[in-house]
Structure 1
Amino acid sequence: MNSLSVPAVTQAGFNMTVGPPTSVSSPQQEKELLYRWILDLNSLESRETALLELSRKRDAIPELAPLLWNSFGTIAALLQEIVQIYPYIHPPVLSAHQSNRVCHALALLQCVASHPDTRAQFLQTSIPLYLYSFLHTSCRSRPFEYLRLTSLGVIGALVKTDDADVIAFLLHTEIIPLCLRIMETGSELSKTVATFILQKILLDDTGLAYICQTYERFAHVASILNKMVQFLARERSARLLKPVVRCYTRLADNPRARQALATTLPDALRDDTFQLRQTLQLAPATQDLFPPQTAN
């Protein structure tokens, strides 16, 4: 799933349009407006509009992440947006408006997480841990699904960079069991992002060794992947199938895991259910995990 982009979750879900788009007439005015929005994050009265505008334009402003990180009070304001909805997730009474607003804040944190100049500091301050309360939720209403998906997007932005420090950080947290639960129970898009995160952890040698260190860890991962294959046999999704298969092929790089997969690989991956050899490029070392269909 190397080509998978972390979904632009802040553009999906609810209608987030508030009034006509802002129009500026010169680069200098755009810069001044950008600085104004960042300053407005420190004001409770103007923060909501600033969150909306900055999250809308984050992909068009390459320097946004360093500006957010180095501006006085900005990260604290974004964290305030996160923690102030904790009381609404247990019991699950989060409204669509609340979900939209905090997801704008999460989108800005995703920007910080993915930027090479701010990623290390983002990890050092353990900010991703603030998102885990959202990943623990199980309510299937749209506001909660959107919240989980956007939170996964932040973690996905981190692992997409192929930074060993990111994987080392995540392995000391509960991200693997959280992703496995979402892979089992989440929406298709949430399953896809959670599987992408697991795949990127597995692609790191330390991550692969961690998951295969004990049979219990391997068995948990293999069990969830098996359930996903069963799901995909009913609900076809090439977008989700690719990271699932790539998780299996990476597990096969570990000798003990490969031996276990020889007897536990789902039948749907052994037969022609998904036509894997026609739709996916498999590494030569793992092609025998998915043998071609033979004539009866």
Structure 2
Amino acid sequence: MANLPPSLSIGAPSTPAPASAPAPAASMDRNMATAEQLVLDLCNPDLRENALLDLSKKRENFQDLAPLIWHSFGTIAALLQEIVSIYPSLSPATLSPGQSNRVCNALALLQVDDPEVIAFLLKTEIIPLCLRTMEMGSELSKTVATFIVQKILLDDTGLLYACATAERFFAVANVLAQMVEALAEQPSPRLLKHIIRCYLRLTDNARACAMLNSHLPSSLKDGTFNDVLQNDLTTRRWLLQLLHNIMSANMGGGPHAGLDHIMGM
């Protein structure tokens, strides 16, 4: 007994060994392995829906997911296939909630801060297709299409593309204005939020901001949507910033007609 370690001697206090926490490196390896498998599943049509859902929910938990998606064989093509596959359902509008969820999950995975990705999407003529859907689609399909345009505009390459010529700017601005006027009759807070964010992003381009002084719908200036936005603090702030940006860019054009109404929301 004398040769036993103190912890095993008779009468010695029994102290359990402390539980070892999982090694951070091992946890990271498991996360990466999971991400890699889900990315592989995107290329399998039978597994793609669940992979889209899991990756969209957990994408912030996976380090280096963006380059993994971009550089893995066939993945970007699979995501683009998801987006393009809904086009026949946009006009006439037959897009189902399930289809909408899938395409939104695919779009969520394309939110990588890489100009190459946006440049690639722009070559697919995605903006003209979205604008047509924003004009003619159902509320659901309009929301999806506007979400796509918003994400493209939030990238510097996408904003430059949309504002490169007057024709492109007016194509976007006119469709946004038509939707705003329609929402004045039949409000949709979710769709209005995306529209206002698109307008706000356009004001980051000096020429576009100046032109919006005469091309922003009056219903965004006169308090028409006060009730719709009453509980949406984020969108209200976006609208105030939008009006402030336009007013600042056009100080010589007189007071902004609707700012007092919006401030009273």
The TM-score, its normalising length taken from structure 2, stands at 0.64
Counterparts of 1:199 and 1:211 in 2: how far apart (Å)?
11
User: Which whole-Å deviations, capped at 9, do the CAs of 1:229-264 have from their partners, x for residues lacking one?
Assistant: 012111222222112111111111212212221111
Counterparts of 1:130 and 1:149 in 2: how far apart (Å)?
14
Instruction: Give yes or no for contact 2:143–2:190 (8 Å, CA) kept in 1.
Output: yes
Counterparts of 1:133 and 1:230 in 2: how far apart (Å)?
29
Q: In structure 2, which of residues 34, 44, 47 is the aligned counterpart of residue 77 of structure 1?
A: 44
Instruction: Give yes or no for contact 1:68–1:75 (8 Å, CA) kept in 2.
Output: yes
User: Which whole-Å deviations, capped at 9, do the CAs of 1:167-192 have from their partners, x for residues lacking one?
Assistant: 23212222212222232333333322
Aligned: 1:66 with 2:66: no
Bigger RCO (CA 8 Å, 6+ sep): 1
Instruction: Give yes or no for contact 1:184–1:227 (8 Å, CA) kept in 2.
Output: yes
The aligned counterpart of 1:191 is 142
Q: In structure 2, which of residues 205, 208, 217 is the aligned counterpart of residue 266 of structure 1?
A: 217
The aligned counterpart of 2:48 is 105
- The code of the aligned residue for 1:213 comes to A
- The code of the aligned residue for 1:69 comes to V
The aligned counterpart of 2:170 is 219
Aligned: 1:121 with 2:71: yes
- The code of the aligned residue for 1:233 comes to A
The TM-score, its normalising length taken from structure 1, stands at 0.58
Alpha-carbon distance, 1:286 to partner: 1.9
User: Structure 1 regions of 5+ residues with no counterpart?
Assistant: 1-60, 82-103
User: Which whole-Å deviations, capped at 9, do the CAs of 1:179-219 have from their partners, x for residues lacking one?
Assistant: 22232333333322322221121121111110001111111
Counterparts of 1:229 and 1:189 in 2: how far apart (Å)?
15
After TM superposition, where is structure 1 displaced by more than 6 Å over at least 4 residues in a row? Answer: none
Percent same amino acid among aligned pairs?
41
- The code of the aligned residue for 2:261 comes to Q
Counterparts of 2:146 and 2:33 in 1: how far apart (Å)?
30
- In structure 2, do the counterparts of structure 1 residues 126 and 215 end up closer, same or farther at CA, with 3 Å as the change threshold? same
- The code of the aligned residue for 1:292 comes to D
Instruction: Give yes or no for contact 1:152–1:194 (8 Å, CA) kept in 2.
Output: no
- In structure 2, do the counterparts of structure 1 residues 245 and 69 end up closer, same or farther at CA, with 3 Å as the change threshold? closer
User: Which whole-Å deviations, capped at 9, do the CAs of 1:239-293 have from their partners, x for residues lacking one?
Assistant: 2211211111111121221222111111111211013996511337526376223
User: Structure 2 regions of 5+ residues with no counterpart?
Assistant: 1-30, 248-255
| Larger Rg belongs to | 2
- In structure 2, do the counterparts of structure 1 residues 237 and 62 end up closer, same or farther at CA, with 3 Å as the change threshold? farther
The aligned counterpart of 1:291 is 259
Instruction: Give yes or no for contact 2:130–2:148 (8 Å, CA) kept in 1.
Output: yes
- In structure 2, do the counterparts of structure 1 residues 281 and 135 end up closer, same or farther at CA, with 3 Å as the change threshold? same
Counterparts of 1:112 and 1:156 in 2: how far apart (Å)?
11
| TM-align CA RMSD | 3.2
User: Which whole-Å deviations, capped at 9, do the CAs of 1:97-154 have from their partners, x for residues lacking one?
Assistant: xxxxxxx73452465575643321357753333231422432434xx43465145314
185-194 vs 208-217, which deviates more?
185-194
Q: Secondary structure, in 3 states, of the residue corresponding to 1:225?
A: helix
